[in-house]
Structure 1
Amino acid sequence: MRKASLALEAFIDETIQKGREKRYIPTVFIGMRQQLGTIPTISRLVRSGDIQSGFKRLHKLNLLDWTIEAAVEKFPDEFTGDDLECAAFRLREARKEDR
């Protein structure tokens, strides 16, 4: 299991905190992160064919820049090309909706 950088871990912690401030707690993500680690959890969720409920919820809360997809784009050296492609696609589609 690859270990996430301290900067990525801090970004994800802040993402969770920003959600909490708006009364959203991503309990499934938190549990997966504790069990699998940050990078494997993010990779698994970003590559999933389903758009995650957390992504949808953060988008509705105007926190698109604090999604795990945004984390992949912000820390590209920590993820695979497939992760980057999937994250970029989701963010691009969500931003189209916002126009």
Structure 2
Amino acid sequence: MSKELEDFIDTSIVESAKKDYHPTAFIGMRENLGTVPAIVKLVTQGDIQSGFRSLEKLGMIDWTIEAAVLKFPKDFPNREVQAAAAWRIDQAKGKKS
């Protein structure tokens, strides 16, 4: 896993907190599973996660874990994970068009 991914996630959490959103469930999963496995688990679940929806409402799509998957594809070589992340972001951005 890249340091850049870790830094991106750390910054995402800080930026979210500035807008009074605290992704406590993700933080716990990250501590228990590791960053990449936690992201993969959440991104590949059928339901769009509440954290994604919260960040979407705050105008922070570019700070979601889905955005991290697309920004750091070498950390997520599984094309299904990349496709799931891209689909969620496309859906969110499509709503605003």
- Shift >4 Å, 4+ stretches: none
Structure 2: stretches of 5+ with no match in the other structure: none
Structure 1: stretches of 5+ with no match in the other structure: none
**1:81 alignment counterpart:** 79
**2:95 alignment counterpart:** 97
Using the alignment, how far apart are the partners of 1:86 and 1:34 within structure 2? 23
1:28 aligns with 2:25: yes
Aligned counterparts, 1:1-99, within 5 A: 4-79=1-76, 80-99=78-97
Q: Secondary structure at the match of 1:95?
A: helix
* 2:28 maps to amino acid: G
* 1:88 maps to amino acid: A
Using the alignment, how far apart are the partners of 1:11 and 1:96 within structure 2? 24
Using the alignment, how far apart are the partners of 2:12 and 2:50 within structure 1? 15
Aligned residues: 96
* 2:42 maps to amino acid: L
Deviation at 1:33, TM superposition (A): 0.0
Q: What fraction of aligned residue pairs are identical, expressed as a percent?
A: 51
